[in-house]
Amino acid sequence: MSYVFNPPAVTSLPVVGRGERFPIHRIYCVGRNYEDHAKEMGFTGREPPFFFMKPADAAVPVDADSTAQIAYPTLTQNLHHEIELVVAIGKAGKNIKAADALQYIYGYAVGLDMTRRDLQNEMKKQGRPWCIGKAFEQSAPIGAITPADQACDIVNAEISLQVNGADHQRSHINKLIWNIAETIEHLSAAWELQPGDLIMTGTPEGVAAVVKGDVLEGAVTGLSPIKVHIA
């Protein structure tokens, strides 16, 4: 088969302990999935889950023991960090029940949902999609995937983010409003999940602006941490 131009390279993530890489199909993101973060954004309660997406090539692979460089994006004066647990899907499934959801998970990683908050807020006011605030280039730095059978007690893991060495976000995965299995159930009712899909499960409270020169260090207990420099 020939193409009118060379197709882009597959975006992929390293896998802990393996030479093969994990090819990314789609990136799904869960909005407002920690209660305290929902409150800091002006919302309360256990609302039904909702989702938005980032393109696969928004991902920036972050190798262990290295610092990824991402550019401060255009059009914004208010770039925010959002640390998240990322769930990597390993097999296809639709209308998956929460009780069966864990068997579809290949592994877990640490990720950042970088957000042009000023642009997102303007779109909210106008009732328009958030894509310009969420789905831009280099908006999803993600670390190496730890296979599920090698991960620790992920449900009770701590999640944290430091900026220039100072704590900005710190919580636990068990504070998710919609837990991992419930999220997969809801998500797979709307889309047929495929191997290579990533689910960014939401961010805890403490989101804030970053500027050029800042260094972000994100972690989830038992997973490969990430380090990102804003250039």
d(CA 55, CA 10): 12
The reply to whether 201 falls in a domain is: yes
CB 192 within 8 A of CB 93: yes
Q: Average of pLDDT values for 209-214?
A: 98
User: What value, to the nearest 5°, has the Cα angle with vertex 98 and ends 87 and 12?
Assistant: 20
Q: What is the pLDDT of residues 143-197, one digit of tens each?
A: 999 999 999 899 999 999 999 999 999 999 999 999 999 999 999 999 999 999 9
Compute CA distances 166 → 54, 81, 144, whole Å.
Answer: 28, 14, 23
pTM (global) more than 0.75: yes
The answer as to whether 7 is a domain residue is no
Structural domain contains residue 220 = yes
pLDDT, position 34:
87
Domain membership of residue 146 (yes or no) is yes
Nearest to 117 by CA among 40, 201, 34, 213: 40
Report the CATH number at residue 204.
3.90.850.10
**What does the buried/exposed string (b/e) look like for 44-79 if buried means 16 or more CB atoms within 10 Å of the residue's CB?**
eeeeebeebebbbebbbbbeeeeebebeebeebeeb
Angle at the Cα of 105 from the Cα atoms of 101 and 111, rounded to 5 degrees: 120
133 three-state secondary structure: helix
Q: Which two tokens stand for residue 103?
A: 């068997």
Query: What's the pLDDT score for residue 45?
Result: 64
Q: Percentage of residues in the chain with pLDDT exceeding 90?
A: 90
pLDDT for residue 33: 92
Q: What is residue 159's three-state secondary structure?
A: strand
What per-residue confidence (pLDDT) applies to 38? 66
**What's the pLDDT tens digit per position in 83-123?**
999 999 999 999 999 999 999 999 999 999 999 999 999 99
Alpha helices in the chain (DSSP H): 35-40, 117-126, 131-134, 180-190
Range of the domain at 107: 12-230
The dihedral sign for the CA sequence 54, 60, 65, 66: negative
In a domain, 6, yes or no: no
Q: How confident is the model at residue 35 (pLDDT cuts 50, 70, 90)?
A: confident
Please give the pLDDT value at position 40: 72
H and E: helices and strands count for the chain: 4, 18
Cβ contact 178:30 at 8 Å: yes
pLDDT at position 41 over 80: no
Per-residue pLDDT band at 39 (split at 50, 70, 90): confident
Residue 3 lies in a domain: no
Considering its fold, how many domains does the chain have in total? 1
